[in-house]
Chain A
């Protein structure tokens, strides 16, 4: 396989680390040396060619090729079997509605959250169980890291460069979760968003850090929802009032209450849409009275529509916890779902095209 990247012949593993750190090519952690063989293996596994254009970053018009994604994926620790997920995630991030430049350059400091659905989860060992939103397994750890390293190196999203984040959050090292599809009766997220059953897919979202909540003192769905809604309202008050995609993470202990009562993901979305909303005047309660102006009675919903709730089953088997993952900034960015390795509604040159985005 003919690769186009500049090569460096380096004296051993330690020298590779120093070369990459010195050039600003890492996230601060050690990297796996991206050798031509390892990079070629990733590209081949995904059935791609090195110069295949996964997309063009629309603002700065930067091309993103399979080869450069593979170099960064190997650096992150990816095996070839992980690479199709990375490539599909990038195809979603490069969709205009994701607003990649805005989300990665903003002072708001979000990360790219990746949710994996479908059979590929089990093929690559991606777990949605214990420690689901953190370092639960090898696959999600390295896939999430590959996204960040690609941003740094392909699009120059370095702190103080394109990345102007005031804080950022730990998810910017790696932010990837697999939905626990085996331990739920719920429809997987990707199917909720239009991907056919049995097709693997990734959903990408420009996301703030997770906000954990707890309610293990009820079995009533409406009461559990109220806790989630309160956390979303808190985010509206303290961070951004505007509606957008919120990931709603429900672990088994709380899922059992919903499922026993016959509640679907859509039911949860509908009630959250009703309950997670505030009036602008509530900003006055949290020190933001200066921007309430004459719109105090205006109502703002956390979700632009019930379908904006991206409900996923994930988490360890015990614990009456939940989490919401807010959007970077309301509806200015949209979550995008992309099937992996198949062409659902596209022509022959767009194997990484998307479906179900909204």
Chain B
């Protein structure tokens, strides 16, 4: 006997936006880091920032830390990142 059943998944997804154009070079760029604030992220991002400056010619590194590591970045950080050429984010646990 056939049973008709319904799809339980969310079939009406909203647009998730699109990725910004990729940079051709990091030379002279301003790169922002958005840390979730956990212990593992802090030193790693500082080290990565130095590498970008010394080895890839990044002009300026900006470090920002979210006020809640489980929530989206704070509004002021999102507003500020428009001034950066590239953003690095991720979790450290």
Please list the residues of chain A having a beta carbon within 8 angstroms of any beta carbon in chain B: 3-13, 15-16, 19-20, 25, 33-36, 39, 59-65, 68, 71-72, 75, 99, 101-103, 105-107, 149, 153-156, 291, 329, 332
Contact = CB atoms under 8 A, between A and B. Distances in A.
Contacts of B3: 9-13, 15-16, 33, 35
Interface in B40-93: 68, 70-72, 93
B23 interface: no
B6 to A, nearest CB: 4
Contact of A5 (B7, B14, B71, B93): B7
Contacts of A106: 70
Contacts of B93: 107
B24 interface: no
Given A60-B16, A99-B70, A39 B9 contact: no
A103 B1 CA distance: 41
11 contacts: A3-B6, A6-B7, A12-B1, A25-B9, A33-B5, A35-B5, A36-B6, A59-B71, A71-B7, A103-B70, A332-B71
Nearest to B2: A9
B4 interface: yes
Given A11-B2, A13-B3, A34-B5, A62 B11 contact: no
Which bucket holds chain B's interface residue count?
Answer: 20 to 34
B12 interface: yes
B11 A6 contact: yes
Interface in B1-48: 1-14, 16, 39
Given A33-B5, A39-B6, A156-B10, 6 more contacts: A13-B3, A16-B3, A63-B14, A68-B9, A149-B8, A154-B9
Given A11-B2, A33-B5, A68 B10 contact: yes
A39 B7 CA distance: 11
Contacts of A33: 3, 5
Instruction: Determine the main DSSP class of A at the interface with B.
Output: mixed
Contacts of A64: 10
Instruction: Determine the main DSSP class of B at the interface with A.
Output: loop
Given A59-B72, A99-B71, A102-B70, A8 B12 contact: no
Nearest to A8: B5
Given A11-B2, A12-B1, A35-B3, A154 B10 contact: yes
A60 B17 CA distance: 11
Contacts of B13: 62
Contacts of B72: 59
B10 A155 contact: yes
The 8 closest A-B CB pairs, nearest first, are A102-B70, A153-B8, A6-B7, A5-B6, A71-B8, A154-B10, A5-B7, A34-B6
Contacts of B7: 5-8, 71
Contacts of B1: 11-12
A71 B6 contact: yes
Contacts of A156: 10
Nearest to B93: A107
A33 B6 CA distance: 8
B68 to A, nearest CB: 6
Nearest to A25: B8
Nearest to A31: B8
A59 B17 CA distance: 13
Given A25-B9, A63-B12, A153-B8, A291 B39 contact: yes
A48 B31 CA distance: 49
A10 B8 contact: no
A25 B7 CA distance: 9
B57 to A, nearest CB: 35
Contacts of B9: 25, 68, 153-154
A63 B10 contact: yes
